[in-house]
Structure 1
């Protein structure tokens, strides 16, 4: 692992995770990882498995209408790669009016629901300790979901260890995780403008469009659904790919139900990503 500072932070992370699992349990070393299959929660899951017995650590993924199918499939693959028990819980978030109305606090209510579902599941197995993949950089961004994590007493060892996004990826590479350089993901609800009602139809249009573009070789992207207008965001170097295949892309997205198709020449913008949990 390059860098003595990173090595020290990695060792500190191991100690923090070990201490959380031990100190918060009076009788065992069991814990649940709130698991998305992304690089952050994967690092936490892998280290938790390493510092405890394999059967004591469980990864739990919440599957709902706002989750991309590819995200769920990736979570299965990465959990299998780590060698950790993995459960997927189905939850309908579109029956929650506070999530559907899509206010600026949507992520708070969504995260609150996720953790409460995981806690219910944990009671079945006698597990009350929950860890997640929130990192140090996340703490400096506008993320309403972090408030829910604190209220529900969820441990965020990456943040506690002062480990940010870049360092998480370096640790993941050191651990041999295949997703160490995978593009960051966020739920499909982030593609709908704030205060615009979230519907199943809007989410499926976004998911179908992103899946289609992904198959064309555009791996890091977002398709925003602005009242039926598709706004494609990707890396600047991939915009040329979209322009080259514009007729195919336009026809396909119109068939999906979009009434216009646009490309944001600014790429994947930070001002949107700060609202993505």
Structure 2
């Protein structure tokens, strides 16, 4: 069944004849880039958007992954932070982010002779609140994984089967996702969160978030790691580091990490 989906993905990309992949370096878009390159060779291009909401090390990792795959890779600059609709951080912030992305990629695709942009949206993404998907569709982008019905778990399974070393790479959404809706986003705040998450990664942690609300940093870790983290981490040193980045208070979320946790306020409003 899974191999059948892989063959459908290959057929979809082969039919396009040329593919410009909106490539973040995440496991989803990396799978699309890998299959596109396997099918199309030099008629496939991966393009990554660089902006203040992307950690420099994540961009470097995207470059290394593209080199491993063999696909041609380019980096473009996006400026969503300059859009007041984005910076105000409304509940549909991602709509304005993806609008900027695809308003940048679509002209590039037209100029280079690609029929459309393909992205890494998977079937599970369609079941979550993802206003960015609408922005991409409005600009003619296609989502091969979602069209074929490939889920996140299947993305990882296929990536492992294709021997991509990052098949189990934790999801790493843009840094703007760390802020509660309604709190304005600035470059300084993005950099503050980025430095805090980099500090935790240097401790050997991989799945994590530093949620930012005003002067408060709230650390999210997998529930099973919380006790060991508290027992083995030099907490005063961590607090001092976070405060040097600009936070005043540093807290630990006892519920633990959960992807998309800030969206729970939307469900509360709906109920």
Question: TM-score by structure 2 length?
Answer: 0.93
Quote the offset at 1:198 in angstroms.
0.3
1:35 matches 2:31: no
1:66 matches 2:53: yes
Unmatched 5+ residue regions in structure 2? Answer: 265-271
Per-residue CA deviations over 1:67-117 (Å, capped at 9, x if unaligned) read 122221111011001101100112222211111010011101110110110
Task: Tell me which residue corresponds to 1:11.
Answer: 7
Task: Tell me which residue corresponds to 2:39.
Answer: 51
Per-residue CA deviations over 1:146-181 (Å, capped at 9, x if unaligned) read 111211111111011111000000000111111100
Task: Tell me which residue corresponds to 1:188.
Answer: 175
Task: Tell me which residue corresponds to 1:265.
Answer: 254
Work out the CA distance in 1 between the residues paired with 2:80 and 2:4. Answer: 40
Retained in 1: the 8 A contact 2:13–2:19? no
Task: Tell me which residue corresponds to 2:145.
Answer: 158
Quote the offset at 1:18 in angstroms.
2.0
Runs of 4+ in structure 1 displaced over 3 angstroms?
Answer: none
Retained in 1: the 8 A contact 2:78–2:100? no
Which aligned pairs between 1:224-243 and structure 2 lie closer than 5 A? 224-243=211-230
Work out the CA distance in 2 between the residues paired with 1:130 and 1:270. Answer: 26
Task: Tell me which residue corresponds to 1:252.
Answer: 241
**CA 1:274–1:195: 2 relative to 1, 3 Å:** closer
- My pick for the range that moved more, 41-50 or 206-215, is 41-50
**CA 1:113–1:190: 2 relative to 1, 3 Å:** same
How many residues get paired?
Answer: 262
2:123 is paired with a residue of what secondary structure? coil
Which aligned pairs between 1:127-142 and structure 2 lie closer than 5 A? 127-142=114-129
Which aligned pairs between 1:89-238 and structure 2 lie closer than 5 A? 89-238=76-225
Work out the CA distance in 2 between the residues paired with 1:145 and 1:114. Answer: 10
Unmatched 5+ residue regions in structure 1? Answer: 22-28
